[in-house]
Structure 1
């Protein structure tokens, strides 16, 4: 590589790293507790815990659960319902003043066997909520997500440019060499390069999937204007139904259509993921991969008949698959621990890069 090319790549690596370093450090630090959010929640007492009952205790009807939830907050309507992803003894219910409201919601955890509400601290308070919002959108909603997505893009640029520069730098050194007999800056430079190339693949995957995750709102908005619009086109211009069939009937209809899948959640008529005329029952697979993918089943809220169901398009699947890759939550505790170690190593890489720049100045 010519000296001019090296200088060019060095410039790209320096500025893409410097601009993104502070925010990448923030994301790595806040992401560390999020890897163990369930364990921390149990430790802090913020995780809902259903009372002990027989393992084969029957589940309550969905409508009974919703009746108990609405009784807790009169004057509200149901937007979403679904079984808890990690413990099917519980179910979540999202309430709001109107079905199409996008802010001001109230979420409840309900016992799926007794239909009784479970004690649970507010979802929008506490340490883990702060970590989550800082990691996802900096408390700035969609603009914050898109900004962090751009920082993720700069991280990818820094990784690629770092790889390009690593080969000529290490031409006269053995792989993994740390020159301990040199000045501190030289030792930190070697450690920075060693950890950087060691965590290369992980950092690229987590950075890329994190960037994709910041587009979630836009991806699903596009899906709503694309496939969802096609699925509900026959109902365009019709008034909302005068009455609705029981929600359990809609859930049973979706299960009968896709017997090899399980219900993930139900979007109620008028909510952002449905139409004024339908229950949108989102089903998931029963394998580690397909459990991350969703397929909506639209059920006419007035008749209880299935009107349409289509797998998500490629861009929706790409988004849903990227989420577990980003948080490492598909392989149990061993993968969580590996993700944590790689996260800590990345913090060292980012911190050492900042230190090297300051010392050089």
Structure 2
């Protein structure tokens, strides 16, 4: 199994089981140890590789323990401090990491609750752990751009020099991305003013700010929607049919055929809005079944209650339904009798776990067409 597949499998496990774990020890056993083992590649039962309850005397602090020390070439290279899944990760609750970082050979410290992993090093001052992580891995929303950097920490290709050299850039890029994401969601005054002055020549008064704040928010969301859609379409290859972009405030359904466009115009008052998550989920399904049929044959048709993924724009050939309009997301799958069963999902990556069912559904339609 490839590195990314192992990471996705662990993410699915966390999503399915985190609600049942009530203690820190359970979190370690269910999530953290598998992360160290299957993702980083260290034998958690070999004390020459992973030392649980690692102890080192630190000044007047005697007998303090840290959850795990990961060894590489007979040296402590990484320290791991664990919290209960769902617990907020705050450095004031991980003082051992700071102390141990200064008295061991470790250059990497990991603070985790089993779902979110924060990676620290000593960029700001030698042998002193930074206050901010250089890499944040969230298994509920995996950033694919971080996977190559994470892989450098694995046993087989452990490359500390490369990790440290890239850490500075990763640290600030990560913080910038989170700051930009916050502005896309809820722009502050400076962000609104910056863009308003690019398009508006008058003074930036209180009235102008109130007028442009929703416009900047809407433009940001539409731009992000377009970029995500274009990137996913490109990833499927040049042969894929580009998706029509749904504007953030457009009420019509987002579909591909001319008949569907006409239907959009007739039903424009229905207020259907295709979300970014629905577009991403659709593209995941399209990628899963692209070996069975050409990607352009798989389209989506949105409605108020669900977003349907269809073969050949045919309602009688439903591949799946995306029920994303409630707090709990569901993917609806169909059996041979076209009976729908809804499966709860907590992240879009979980859709990959239904690959066999999705392909089987398409195979049934293709087989029926041949007959």
TM range (shorter): under 0.3
Which of structures 1 and 2 has the larger relative contact order (alpha carbons within 8 angstroms, sep 6+)?
A: 1
Structure with the bigger percentage of strand: 2
Instruction: State TM-score, norm by structure 1.
Output: 0.23
Structure with the bigger percentage of helix: 1
Instruction: State TM-score, norm by structure 2.
Output: 0.22
